Amino acid sequence: MTNDLYFIFINAFILLIWFKTEALYEYGSKIPIINKTLKLNKYIEFKRKYSDVKYPIFLSIEYNNFFTRLISCPVCLNTWLNMLSYPFISIYSIIFLNFFGSLILYYISVILMKYHDREES
């Protein structure tokens, strides 16, 4: 059961990295295959015009389709991350705990990050 709860932290971590950092852009732009596949050069140009736009929002603006809308929404992406973790969970009734737990942990982290940024200002 405790191994099943790790997915709460894994999914919240993935959501934080995806929505609140530029890690994919910063590290992916150094690798040519990732740079080309994820169209990071186009994102760099877009970022020059709109500096506060993160990569998931850029995707939903430039490539507006079901998949990009899916990965630019924290609740939607969390749903699919939890579905991907389903084969690795031994107690299937815990999937709802994982879903809500990872969202709660993600949003608490976002609130704490905003509070920390406000304190530094």
Predicted confidence pLDDT, tens digits, the chain (121 residues) = 567 788 899 999 999 999 999 888 888 888 888 888 888 889 989 989 988 888 999 999 999 999 999 999 999 999 999 999 888 877 777 888 899 999 999 999 999 999 988 877 6
pLDDT score of 121: 64
Cβ atoms of 85 and 5 within 8 Å: the answer is: no
pTM, full prediction:
0.86
pLDDT score of 27: 87
Q: Which residue has the tokens 């186009």?
A: 42
What is the DSSP secondary-structure string of the chain? -HHHHHHHHHHHHHHHHHHH--HHHHHHTTSHHHHHHTTHHHHHHHHHHSTT--HHHHHHHHS-SHHHHHHT-HHHHHHHHHHHHGGG-SSGGGHHHHHHHHHHHHHHHHHHHHHHHHHH-
Instruction: For 64, list phi and psi in degrees, rounded to 5.
Output: -75, 100
Separation of CA 109 from chain center: 13
Extract the tokens encoding 100: 């809500």
Domain ranges of the chain: 2-120
pLDDT score of 14: 96
